[in-house]
Structure 1
Amino acid sequence: MITHSDVSAARRRISGSVRRTPLLELDSELVPAAARTWLKLEQLQHTGSFKARGAFNRVVSALEEGGIGESGVVAASGGNAGMAVAHAAARYGIPARVYVPENAPAFKRAKLRELGAEVVAVGERYSEAYRAAVEDAERHGAAFCHAYDQPEMCAGNGTLGTELFEQTGGELDTVLLAVGGGGLMAGVAAALESHARVVGVEPTGVPTLHTALAEGGPTDVAVSGVAKDSLGATRIGEIAHEVAGRTGARSVLVDDEHILAARRRLWQRYRIVVEHGTAAALAALLAGEYQPERGERLAVVLCGANTDPTDLV
């Protein structure tokens, strides 16, 4: 459904609109078996998450295909995807409406408004906000921007993978990244197909990829835990499931206590502030849920920083 060529096209399309985020090498004693372990600091991306990559690719693609009308763009998001869409739309002077669950964090809603989006709160779950956004787009003829299950979104997100591969000089074996709806995993796995493996890390309270791989397809899961605000999709996307099956991407689960510990470790040791969902990827390493082989070369994607930092100290 998406391939390396789609990611390459996305990279050309969004060149100049997104940041090339840096790498930081993790202290070797934290993961002694690995030859090298890098942190990909994508929390420094525009709007604080990787979602800006997919949003720009979706918006620019829609413009190339015939433009976007007066109704602009519509998205459904608990926060990060909506912020990215609002940012991309504002860059091109396009109106944006973002539907969020009523329990979306107040600071994320405030940020959406600061970026110029109209915010509409509907229901208690992402699925309810999603249905309302789809109905809005159909009724008004707006361009719908899916948070994670849309080819343009996934391919744009995948530009992180090609960028990472270049930054490591191609000396990369495994990428660990957090999975919610799977839009990041799908893009990165497609970008790195036949070059590096991708491991999706999920909280035990939101095992969307894990369940889909076990059940043979996307399946609804209950949503709970500390990372539900950013990894709160109720099922993995169809694109992510297809790419995971094609590329052999696997799932690793981590408990909330390990996510909290990894998030604190990033702050205490490196002064890096990330979301709970973002910390899941590092938690898999620190808690031993993913055990690298001797000499393995790893990258851990820190994919978002839109969080309340007051509970870090």
Structure 2
Amino acid sequence: MHHLSYGDVKTAADRVADRVRPVAVVRADVAGADSGADADVGAGVAAGPAAAEYELFFALEFMQHTGSFKARGAVNFLVAHRERGELPEAGVTIASGGNAGLACAWAARGLGVPATVFLPETAPQLKIDRLRSYGAEVRLAGVEYADAAAACEAFAADTGALPSHAYDHPLIAAGAGTLVEEIRSQVPLVDTVVVSVGGGGLFAGVAAAAEHHGIRVVAVEPERCRALNAALEAGRVVNVTVDSVAADALGARRATPMALSAAGHRNVRSVLVSDEAVVAARRGLWERYRLAVENAAATAVAGVEGAAYVPSAGERVVVVLCGGNADPGELGG
């Protein structure tokens, strides 16, 4: 099992530097930090005398190419293989109808590499069209994600195409960790970075960089989608049932060993939030800031606003808004 190091992240930062959009970090309002705090109670913000005056920032990574942090890992993965002379003529292949598939297709196009993306036949036309807009060849196989994954594996074996994983690869995770370097350049004294966790690629990368800088990482998962939290409890990677509003992006049945290893750092906290808190946080981001994000991004916000993690007075907290690929029509208002 590969233990991700800070060196891995630093190398990734150099590889992705001119290819990804540097993340914008903006200051958010904190309830309790001013007299008008009570007006925000309805928006899912902890308010009242218990709310410590901490500093809250949002890292707007949903504005990244393809709409999520996944672009970072995809670029690092492909550029690293090209550096080693290991990019086959058949290009890269992945089974993913989500953010990872989009990121892989986009990164491949930027490097002039063919991308073949496998999806189940049930995939929405919108996703297929978007993948094709990035120049990917889309192939439909079976009715479940597992069928598409099997077809992808077979294609890689037959053609020699490089298989890419959505999150379980050190190069993918290290790419995601480059966020921490960019956050530090804008909030040099950051104490805590809050991220949502699915399979744990973003978390593993962020934790590797954060550990080096002495930054705390808060890993937030929905209660009914808690692969990392359950693995920590069991002391090993275990399967969990997945049933959450954020499952489209965070719905990994098990965390990666790499993520579990990263969660062993003393500076890591694992917290859970309810689906109601996720929905409230997402709505609050829209109502208060006009930020339209997906439930996965709102999950991280819910970790702080729902008091699953309570920052200390003066703590500088940066919440990563990891993706925005969702239907804004769900936001209402």
TM-score (norm 2): 0.89
Residue 240 of structure 2 is matched in structure 1 by: 221
CA distance in 2, matches of 1:238, 1:105: 31
Q: 1:226 deviation in Å?
A: 1.1
Residue 30 of structure 2 is matched in structure 1 by: 28
Q: 1:225 deviation in Å?
A: 1.8
Secondary structure at the counterpart of residue 195 of structure 2: strand
Give the counterpart of 1:3 among 2, 5, 30: 5
**Change beyond 3 A, Cα 1:310–1:238:** same
Secondary structure at the counterpart of residue 253 of structure 2: coil
RMSD: 1.7
**Structure with larger Rg:** 2
CA distance in 2, matches of 1:78, 1:266: 26
CA distance in 1, matches of 2:201, 2:22: 19
Residue 137 of structure 1 is matched in structure 2 by: 156
8 Å contact kept, 2:54–2:312 = no
Q: 1:52 deviation in Å?
A: 0.5
**Mapping 1:113-262, distance limit 5 Å:** 113-123=132-142, 126-169=145-188, 171-194=189-212, 195-262=214-281
**Change beyond 3 A, Cα 1:106–1:302:** farther
Q: Does 1:12 align with 2:14?
A: yes
Q: 1:104 deviation in Å?
A: 4.6
CA distance in 2, matches of 1:181, 1:122: 23
**Change beyond 3 A, Cα 1:183–1:74:** same
For residue 147 of structure 1, what is the amino acid of its counterpart? A
CA distance in 1, matches of 2:154, 2:141: 12
After superposition, give the CA deviation of every residue in 1:136-155 in whole Å (9 maximum; x if it has no partner).
22222111111111011011
CA distance in 1, matches of 2:9, 2:154: 29
CA distance in 2, matches of 1:196, 1:131: 39
8 Å contact kept, 2:194–2:220 = yes
CA distance in 2, matches of 1:50, 1:5: 20
**Change beyond 3 A, Cα 1:79–1:173:** same
Q: Does 1:59 align with 2:78?
A: yes
Q: 1:174 deviation in Å?
A: 1.1
CA distance in 1, matches of 2:97, 2:52: 37
**Mapping 1:49-88, distance limit 5 Å:** 49-88=68-107
8 Å contact kept, 1:34–1:298 = no
For residue 187 of structure 1, what is the amino acid of its counterpart? G
8 Å contact kept, 2:198–2:227 = yes
Q: 1:120 deviation in Å?
A: 3.0
Q: Size of the alignment, in residue pairs?
A: 312
CA distance in 1, matches of 2:117, 2:273: 30
TM-score (norm 1): 0.94
Q: 1:188 deviation in Å?
A: 0.5
Q: 1:34 deviation in Å?
A: 4.1
Q: Which ranges in structure 1 are unaligned for 5 or more consecutive residues?
A: none
CA distance in 1, matches of 2:248, 2:202: 16
For residue 173 of structure 1, what is the amino acid of its counterpart? D
